[in-house]
Structure 1
Amino acid sequence: MTMRFVLAALLFAGTAQASEDTADKYPASVLYNKPYEVIPGVFSAIGATAPPTYENSGHNNNLSFIVTGDGVVVINGGAAYSLAKALHDEIRAVTDQPVKLVFNENGQGHAVLGNNYWTEQGIPVVAHQDAADEVEENGASILEGMKRYNRDKAEGTEVQGPTVTFEDEYIVDMGDFHIEARYLGPAHSPGDIVIWLPDQSMVISGDMAFHERMLPIFADTYTADWLETWDAEFEPLNATYVIPGHGHPTNMAQVRRYTKDYLEYLRGKVGELIEEGGGLAEAYYVDQSPYAHLDTFEELATKNAGRVFEQMEFE
């Protein structure tokens, strides 16, 4: 595959329409999508842009792996034991190189609940310390939530935190790849990290960056901090290729549009409301129509506005 073809494919992916209405794109597997090679050596199984359901098996984030020439590095443990095993099956179909390392992009269920599959294989699982703390504190409730929607597909899944943690960065040189796992600062959720491949100018961004679906703002998502981290640390990477936490691989301009620009837009609208003396009830109805085409808009837009209002009241 030539780099010109890859770039064209990525640009097309940036404009392709995802749909949260598709229940499953890969019926032969519990994975929602079959992994494909995004750039040479880097593969990703693109998750659904819908909330986690039995139909998509909780595969609603991107599960990626790097075939280095001297082993495989996996990015995200997966939302269940069954998903981790299915991803491993796909890796074995691509290469006979062993999986040597797994990264968790954060402490959310879709990143960590498959960890016990990987540790059973004797493979180290690496995450930021804040993500490890999240699993330790809330892992049982995260697992129970997954069991409610995934039912029999949850079989074999147990809470397993990362086996290796770091604070700022964790660097791996393996085969043909120099891999930098970086904590850039507060962003979407505790322990968010990015996987930076400087030689390929690619960032596997995790939930630092979203595309094709509306990003969720949680109770512990501080949007002002996320924007500061974006400007100070993420944007200066100037990556050519971005595999976001959700949505197809694309470029910095697209993830900026649907992450930074959205956060700034929503904070601007809520800020105007606060200046006019408006309250929480009105905040739920601020105009977010420029983003109404995104998947999960109906599920998340009003919640996002309410949480931003509650934050900005006290800034």
Structure 2
Amino acid sequence: MKTFSSSPFMPGRRTALAALASLAAGGALAQARPAAVRIGYQKSSTLIAVLKLQGALERAFAPLGLAPSWHEFTSGLPLLEALNLDNIDLSADVADTVPVFAQAAGARLTFVAQEAPSPSAQAILVRADSPLRSVADLKGRRVGFAKAAGVHYLLIAALDQAGLSFRDIEPAYLAPADGRAAFERGAIDAWVVWDPFLAAAQRQSGARVLADGTGLASYQRYYLAGTGFARAHPEVLGVLYAELEKTGRWVKAHPKEAAALLAPFWGLDAAIVEQANSRRSYAVREATRERLSEQQRIADAFLAEKLLPRRVDALDVDLYKPPGA
């Protein structure tokens, strides 16, 4: 009959105990490792970029046992698609138009915060030697811009004011990098873009502003969360909101330091970054239904131009209320 020793010094017993200890240690490490908060951002997401570069969210989330996980996107629409598909938890600032397209696709969004208007931080540009002198001159011309970006609505609003419609131009949907290349080689007649790309084109190639958003498009940017995540983790939204608010004030109060920090991250001269930042409010505030009023005008304008598949109720969203608001 086979017998088993109960001695703890038998080799088999020692190996088993070592394995169990190793597994226990691994489990403790796994429990100690911070859970990830997945944050989507664009290169031009200024306040999130500052938070990332300064490590501020790592410090702010640490007491919650959390750490940010960073995910870069080339434009706002795929960013919100990822949010809706639960591939990220939080979205850095996107232009006011982007949520409208996401809602039309059935996304459920929670508005965490809003940046106050910055209408001059986006503009319709033409080359310095262009014969185009007014928005009305865009009729029949090829105009480049990023689809669903804030500049998309600016273009619609500017055309409408000039007595034109979207059908009067030839649109070219281009991400900023592709738009800049097409603009400089003359493949498009005008380019509609936002800062810091706007400031870079002005300073580096002498691009001329045909019209900016003043009196046409407020250009308010929004920070969003997946609704499921927002309802489950309001404490995370509270930390993010407080850090965004603080960082917005710091950027405006320290323009040169902020420009020096962002310049290598954006691959731009500090002077360009400082000019771009001077046109953005960076005033982070609560997103209220009253402050969302322009969202419905944006949605209706896109619907009128048959750029949305259905009517969108722009106020059919969840709104986060920060502590003390």
TM-score scaled by length of structure 1: 0.26
Which of 1 and 2 has greater Rg?
2
Would you tell me which structure has more helix in proportion to its own residues? 2
TM-score scaled by length of structure 2: 0.26
